[in-house]
A = this chain, B = another copy of it.
Amino acid sequence: MMTGKSLGIHPERLYRDFEEMARQEGAREDGIDFVSIVTPNHAHYPIAKAFLENGINVVCDKPFTFNVEEAEGLACIAKTRDLLICVTYEYSGYPMVKHAREMIRRRDIGDIRVISAQYLQGWLATPLEATGQKQAAWRTDPKQAGSSNCVGDIGSHIENTVSYITGLKIRSICANLDIFGENRELDDNAEILVRYDNGASGVYHSSQVTIGHDNDLRVQVFGTKGSIEWVQENPNYLRVAHLGQPIKVLSRGESYIYPQAARLSRIPSGHPEGYFEAFANIYFVFIGTLLKKKAGQALCDEDLDFPGVEAGVTGVKFINKCVESSKKGSVWVSLD
């Protein structure tokens, strides 16, 4: 309530806890349209549940929940109550990721054969959680983070970004999860082999002990006619190749960019847009859709161009199956 007060929120709408807030906002004529859940992972489920049950739409950090049952439970409530859920896998908000997705849809690089993706960080190369660093502390704590740290935090971003760009479903995975940090209980490195429903194969590498990499998410998709590469740390560009042609570097803001990406590009090419704009794009699409829905308008594909409840459920399944595979000796497990 102190925080709320300092932010200038009306005293009538300062609440003691999320349950009270969900109940009272749900009961108000002018109640909030949606809630943003940005807590550590373990709190996602109860909060989301409370707001959905009170008829309030939900925007939630990823991973959506601890387990698939919870995720599907929330999906069910949302469906019954006709509410929207957005899970903020933020990398889907970058215009060049949207351009890549549209290229795949238009079959610009043919049939997908191979996917290689990595998300490398180095911030947990030492036992940072032992120093009391807050972010490190909860992410490496099974009670707050769930069954996985590295796959849960960043491996899941690989899963979602690839899935968002390619539309492929994962059929099965074979994962090796390591713990390198001293006295650490959860994984800080993961190598994962992947098989997709169309027969493509893939390899994911997520790590928090790879010194020299800050937030190095990169996705490479190889098709029968060409390939695409996107690198998060230089997000305004896309490397594209086509058989027998020079490599091409596409730049956000140019006239050849597809409308699905162009509509979320704010400033001319060469003026870097970054992480905040990617996040803003997810909210921008979600809010626009919410307003259309409230106005009783029909929603089209473009309106649903944000990571929804299905992405949330799939994400949780992916994390848990990686943990299961690794625990069983890095065997193949099905995601169906």
For A126, the chain B residues whose CB sits under 8 A away are 243
The answer on a CB contact under 8 Å between B189 and A174 is no
Q: Does A258 contact B (CB under 8 A)?
A: no
Within 8 A of B (CB), among A174-217: 174, 176, 178, 180, 189, 191, 193, 195, 201-203, 205, 207, 209-216
Known: A176-B193, A273-B276, A275-B267. A251 touches B247 (CB 8 A): yes
Known: A114-B178, A176-B193. A222 touches B209 (CB 8 A): yes
A149 to chain B, nearest CB (A): 15
For A193, the chain B residues whose CB sits under 8 A away are 174, 176, 191, 193, 330
A188 to chain B, nearest CB (A): 9
Within 8 A of B (CB), among A224-263: 224-227, 229, 232-236, 239-251, 253-256
Q: Does A118 contact B (CB under 8 A)?
A: yes
A-B contact pairs, 26 of them (CB 8 A): A114-B209, A116-B210, A121-B270, A122-B241, A125-B243, A126-B243, A180-B224, A191-B193, A191-B202, A211-B222, A212-B239, A212-B240, A213-B227, A216-B270, A233-B272, A234-B234, A235-B272, A240-B246, A245-B256, A246-B248, A246-B256, A247-B248, A247-B249, A267-B276, A273-B276, A330-B332
**Shortest beta-carbon contacts, A-B, top 5:** A212-B241, A214-B270, A215-B270, A272-B274, A274-B274
